[in-house]
């Protein structure tokens, strides 16, 4: 099944913000990723999710997460980090509740990463579960990215593994948390405080199928050469496919991304 995208690729009502979406099947038989966005005159919400669970359950879980987060934000935009955490916990409960809908969904779960922008105040919040990531770039350089809830991330934080080894470690795909987990096992992380957006800031939300094949140096270099958000995602797609071919990974993962450009001073 194809991924779900909610809304158009570019948000024309937001002249100060430009947005583009990418979602590809990769080397898999179907796409379990989902991504979407919603905006009003004052707020923007973007969500990317990477489902798993087999027998079609993964793509159901990822769509559920995207829809629930967007619907809840549209009804009541968030303004504090703890509200992001609460929304992710509520989304987890929604995924668990829908596991009872059918046998194919009994073991479904999904990563998620979400971005929330208050355009009037020039502030951004974000939150995630699993190893889908949010990156922040300023002046063409990466300033920060979320930390995965994964085995290899815990090895890096323990000093056992170097960050550059995460992408090739044999346990790279093992998650410590994802939506669909029992509440006592769930880990979600929200930005500790609102991010003050500068003209030219760029956000990238993506699944591991993208960042596994494109490192941060390549992300920054290609961003600095790109004319607009669509062009940048097109280059990132080419890099994923190129590196997957070089590694002879014909079954490389689905890969999806949303990028938001704030002004044109990137």
User: How many structural domains comprise the chain?
Assistant: 1
Contact, 56 vs 23, CB < 8 A? no
Rounded Cα distance between 253 and 243, Å, is 12
- pLDDT of the residue at 168: 86
Which parts of 99-228 fold into alpha helices (H)? 151-157, 208-211, 216-225
Give the distance, in angstroms, between the CA of residue 20 and the centroid of all CA atoms in the same chain: 13
Tokens of 99: 């596991």
What is the span of the domain harbouring residue 35?
Answer: 5-262
Q: E strand or H helix at 10, and its extent?
A: none
**pLDDT < 50: residue spans in the chain:** 1-15
Rounded Cα distance between 118 and 41, Å, is 10
- Which residue from 61, 50, 64 is spatially nearest to 107, judged by alpha carbons? 61
- Which residue from 84, 87, 93 is spatially nearest to 126, judged by alpha carbons? 84
pTM comes to 0.91
Strand, coil or helix: 64 = helix
Q: What is the DSSP letter of 163?
A: G
Looking at residue 124, which CATH number applies to its domain?
Answer: 3.60.40.10
Half-sphere exposure of 228 (CA within 13 A, CB side): 9
């Amino acid at each position: 099944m194809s991924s779900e995208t909610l809304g158009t690729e570019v948000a024309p009502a937001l002249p100060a913000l430009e947005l583009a979406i990418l979602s590809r099947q990769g080397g898999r038989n179907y796409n379990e990723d989902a991504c979407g966005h919603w905006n009003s005159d004052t707020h923007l919400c973007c969500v990317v999710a990477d489902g798993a669970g087999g027998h079609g359950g993964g793509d159901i879980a990822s769509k559920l997460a995207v829809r629930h987060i967007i619907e809840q934000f549209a009804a009541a935009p968030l303004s504090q980090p703890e509200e992001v955490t609460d929304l992710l916990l509520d989304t987890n409960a929604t995924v668990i509740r829908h596991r009872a809908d059918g046998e194919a969904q009994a073991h479904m779960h999904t990563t998620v990463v979400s971005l929330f922008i208050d355009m009037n105040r020039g502030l951004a919040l974000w939150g995630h579960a699993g190893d889908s990531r949010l990156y922040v770039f300023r002046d063409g350089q990466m300033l920060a990215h979320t930390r995965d809830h994964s085995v290899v991330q815990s090895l890096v934080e323990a000093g056992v593994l170097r960050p550059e080894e995460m992408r090739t470690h044999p346990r790279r795909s093992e998650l410590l948390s994802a939506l669909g987990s029992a509440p006592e096992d769930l880990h979600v992380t929200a930005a500790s405080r609102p991010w003050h957006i500068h003209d030219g800031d760029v956000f990238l939300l993506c699944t591991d199928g993208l960042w596994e094949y494109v490192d941060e140096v390549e992300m920054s270099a290609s961003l600095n050469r790109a004319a607009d958000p669509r062009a940048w995602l097109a280059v990132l797609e080419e890099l994923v496919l190129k590196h997957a071919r070089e590694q002879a990974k014909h079954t490389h993962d689905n890969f999806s991304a949303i990028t938001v450009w704030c002004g044109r001073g990137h």
